[in-house]
Every structure is written in structure tokens, then in C-alpha cells.
């Protein structure tokens, strides 16, 4: 009989994951959060959420993250968001229960992503949104209004709102929550020294800028208890000079590790620097953007190298979203120990059954339709301050994937023949219609 130790099996996408709170994910694939725009005029969940999330749950992922559910209907990411900002009617609670029931079939975890859009609230929702400071977005057009700096009392109110929504999530059958601290929304704005110019206890030092995030996490944990998964989505960096840096991210991750959260998702960018979808600068001043390294551009997963640095500082499970397309890339990243969960977003707008197909070996790669969703070279030339075609490509791609989500919410299959320019126009029309119907 040999005394040599048994080989340790490598972690793959099929390996279950036990979280610090003892909840178990059946595999390492997660549908990452994507905006849905399916709420009714009162920002309540609808039958469309039920149809969409049942389809995704049946698709085989171990976990689904919802699109951001807002804690304040005055500051939403788009007019069709679900919002929970006070006592809920019996109808609203019933709709959330139906949503949760559909998204947890097939032994699937469904976590509610909780958010406050801050200054990235569209002007169609609120022309004067709340933010840490009054600095507006550096983007063309009048999509976003000039924000108003929050009072101390309003900041404390936001903390209570996050805890309230987490409580509702647990009560209605969601199996976890994720605090959205990335992508330039309110918490991300507080973390950024470029956006947060406050001089009180909520601004200045990184400790002060991270206070809102940490207080929200503590309030949620107190509200939901120790056995309910609590996670955070954090930028690896804002990719804007003077913004939230990668070094800042590592320090904040270490503080979150001490708070015993169950999963940290690593992403990056803002509306001004949308690296989360693989795009570069979208501002009027591109010279202020940090350039991407060639190694990052070439890598399948956008944020993997940033996650490697964060892994050295924390022990909690890490999830990386952005760019994963091949089973080889996913398994290699998991086996390296750099990360524990693979986040998939846009591929599931094209093939909602992609996780099951990857897990059984039917496919080795998921669709990357964004590579073909582009229109010609820059109309204004390479030296223009803002390239119109670049904007059309960016927002057109966003619209294309959002429209696929809307179709699946209607019980339809994705329309893979939809053109990017047509998608841009249809998406803009749908947003205007939804905003006009809002019950203010």
C-alpha cells in the first residue's frame, strides 16, 4: 500500500462552494448582475421578472444576482428598476415572493443586488440626484443632472434603507444580498476622492470615504443575521486619474474581509470609464483616463490581475466578472486560487442555458456577440474630443443586451439579428416610455 498522499482535485466550474455563512453554491458559475428595466410604473417586480429568472435558474448557474434593486426611487439607475424604499404593500411583497421562487428553482441561489444610483441617476428620473458632493458627470449631452451634496442625516438614512431592503429580501425568499459598491454609483462615489470632496467624517481619508460602505455592511448583517449570505461588489479601480485606485481597493477589501462578508465581487470602472463592459473612455476629457495595460487587454478576464492582488490581502471568497468566455480560461482562473466564482453576464443574454452547457461539456466557449456589435470607424476622426460613433457603439451595445433581457421577460427568445443602431434607437425609445409612465 502506498503512503503517498492522494492528489488534491483541482477546482473547476463544477466544484461546489461553501461560503463563510455555511450556505452552499452548487457550482462556481454565477449570472452577474445586469439591469433589467422590467418593473411596473410603481417600480414593483412583475411577471416578467418571474419568466426571466426562472429561465436563468433553469440554465444551470449556481447563483443568480439580480439587477440592482434600488433603496430610493428618487435615485435609480433607470426608470424600470425595482425599488424598495419604505413599507411594502401586500401586492409588492407577493410580487417579490414570486420573483424569488422563480429564481431559486433548480437548487439555484438568487441574491438581490441592492443599490443607490447617486449622481448616475438619469435626468429623466431625477434632475437633481443625491451624491456625496455636487460634482456632475463628465459626459456629453444632458443625460444626467447636477447632483446635490447629501446632508449627514441623508447619509444615515441611506444606511437604514440598505438594511431595510436586505430584510425584505430575506423575508420574501431571496437567498442572499449583494451591496453594489462599484461602477460609479453612490457607494462607489463616496469611495472616490475625485467625486467625494467632503470635509466631514464621510470624506477625506480613505477610512472616511469607506465609512458608508462599511456601515451599510454592518447594518445589513445586523438585520439579516449570521447565516444569510452578504456580499459586496467593489471596483478594482475607477480607471480615472484622481479616482478610487487599485491600492485603495486592496485596503477596502481587507476591511471588508474583517467584516466577514461571504463573497467579494471584483469589477471596475464607471459610466465615464465603462471597463466593466470592456470599453474605454466615454467622457469629454479622455486625457484624464488611465490607460489599460496591454496585458489586461489581451487577457480573457478583464479584472483577473487585480483580483490576484486582492487575493493576497483577503481570505474570503472572490468572484470576478468581465470577459470570461472559455471553459479553459474559467477553470484555469479557479484552479489558480486567485478567485472562487466566475461571473457571466452578457453571454446569458444570448444563451440563457450557457452554464448548463458548459458544465456538461456541450460547449467549450460562450457567445461573445459584443465583438460584432459595432458600426464603422469614428466619424469625427481619431483626434476628436468625443467620438460620436464610439458613443453609439457603447450605448448601442448596452441597448442590444438590454433588449434581449426585455424579450426574455416577455417569454421570447433573444433576437440575434438585431442591429446595434436599431438597438440604440429602440432602447432609447423604451427608456423614454418607461420614464413617462413612472408614478412619481
Note the pLDDT tens digit of each residue in 280-297: 444 444 444 445 444 443
Class of domain 17-369 (CATH, top level) = alpha beta
Q: What are the structural domain ranges in the chain?
A: 17-369
Q: What is the DSSP letter of 290?
A: P
Q: Grid coordinates standing for 411?
A: 417569454
Is-contact 179 191, C-beta < 8 A? no
What contacts 87, CB < 8 A, 6 or more positions away?
Answer: none
Outline where 172-299 has alpha helix (H): 186-191, 206-209, 211-224, 246-258, 294-298
pLDDT for 294 equals 44
Q: Which stretches of the chain score pLDDT less than 50?
A: 1-2, 141, 275-290, 292-298, 377-386
| Residue from 147, 57, 143, 42 nearest 106 by CA | 57
pLDDT for 243 equals 81
* CA atoms within 13 A of residue 419's CA, in its CB half-sphere: 5
Percent of residues in the chain assigned helix, strand, coil, to nearest 5: 40, 10, 50
pLDDT for 133 equals 97
**Burial environment of residue 2 by CB neighbours within 10 A (0 to 12, 13 to 18, 19 or more):** exposed
Q: Grid coordinates standing for 15?
A: 466544484
pLDDT for 380 equals 41
Please name the residue that has the C-alpha cell 486625457: 287
Note the pLDDT tens digit of each residue in 117-127: 999 999 999 99
Outline where 71-198 has alpha helix (H): 90-103, 152-171, 186-191
Amino acid at each position: 500500500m502506498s503512503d503517498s498522499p492522494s492528489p488534491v482535485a483541482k477546482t473547476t466550474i463544477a466544484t461546489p462552494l461553501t461560503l463563510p455563512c455555511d450556505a452552499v453554491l452548487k457550482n462556481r458559475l454565477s449570472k452577474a448582475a445586469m439591469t433589467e428595466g422590467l418593473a411596473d410604473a410603481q417600480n414593483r417586480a412583475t411577471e416578467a421578472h418571474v419568466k426571466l429568472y426562472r429561465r436563468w435558474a433553469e440554465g444551470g448557474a449556481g447563483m443568480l444576482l439580480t439587477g440592482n434593486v434600488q433603496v430610493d426611487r428618487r435615485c435609480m439607475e433607470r426608470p424600470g428598476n425595482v425599488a424598495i424604499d419604505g413599507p411594502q404593500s401586500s401586492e409588492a411583497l407577493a410580487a417579490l415572493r414570486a420573483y424569488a421562487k422563480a429564481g431559486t428553482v433548480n437548487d439555484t441561489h438568487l441574491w438581490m443586488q441592492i443599490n443607490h444610483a447617486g449622481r448616475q441617476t438619469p435626468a429623466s428620473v431625477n434632475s437633481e440626484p443625491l451624491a456625496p458632493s455636487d460634482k456632475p458627470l463628465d459626459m456629453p449631452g444632458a443625460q444626467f443632472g447636477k447632483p446635490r451634496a447629501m446632508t449627514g442625516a441623508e447619509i444615515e438614512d441611506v444606511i437604514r434603507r440598505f438594511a431595510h431592503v436586505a430584510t425584505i429580501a430575506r423575508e420574501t425568499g431571496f437567498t442572499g444580498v449583494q451591496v453594489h459598491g462599484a461602477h460609479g454609483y453612490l457607494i462607489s462615489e463616496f469611495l472616490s476622492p475625485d467625486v467625494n470632496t467632503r470635509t466631514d467624517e464621510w470624506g477625506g481619508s480613505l477610512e472616511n470615504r469607506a465609512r458608508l460602505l462599511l456601515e451599510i455592511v454592518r447594518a445589513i448583517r445586523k438585520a439579516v443575521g449570521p447565516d444569510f449570505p452578504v456580499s459586496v461588489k467593489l471596483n478594482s479601480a475607477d480607471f480615472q486619474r484622481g479616482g478610487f485606485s487599485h491600492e485603495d481597493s486592496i485596503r477596502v477589501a481587507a476591511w471588508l474581509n474583517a467584516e466577514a462578508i461571504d463573497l467579494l465581487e471584483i469589477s471596475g470602472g464607471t459610466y465615464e470609464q465603462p471597463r466593466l463592459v470592456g470599453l474605454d473612455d466615454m467622457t469629454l476629457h479622455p486625457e484624464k483616463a488611465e490607460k489599460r495595460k496591454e496585458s489586461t487587454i489581451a487577457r480573457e478576464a478583464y479584472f483577473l490581475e487585480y483580483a490576484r492582488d486582492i487575493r493576497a490581502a483577503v481570505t474570503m471568497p472572490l468572484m470576478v466578472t468581465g470577459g470570461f468566455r472559455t471553459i479553459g480560461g474559467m477553470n484555469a482562473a479557479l484552479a489558480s486560487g486567485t478567485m472562487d466564482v466566475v461571473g457571466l453576464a452578457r453571454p446569458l443574454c444570448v444563451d440563457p442555458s450557457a452554464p448548463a452547457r458548459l458544465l456538461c461539456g456541450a460547449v467549450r466557449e460562450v457567445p461573445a456577440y459584443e465583438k460584432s456589435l459595432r458600426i464603422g470607424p469614428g466619424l469625427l476622426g481619431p483626434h476628436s474630443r468625443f467620438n460620436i460613433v464610439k458613443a453609439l457603439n457603447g450605448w448601442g451595445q448596452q441597448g442590444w443586451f438590454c433588449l434581449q433581457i426585455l424579450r426574455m421577460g416577455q417569454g421570447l427568445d433573444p433576437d440575434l439579428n438585431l442591429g446595434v443602431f436599431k438597438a440604440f434607437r429602440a432602447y432609447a425609445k423604451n427608456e423614454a416610455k418607461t420614464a413617462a409612465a413612472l408614478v412619481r
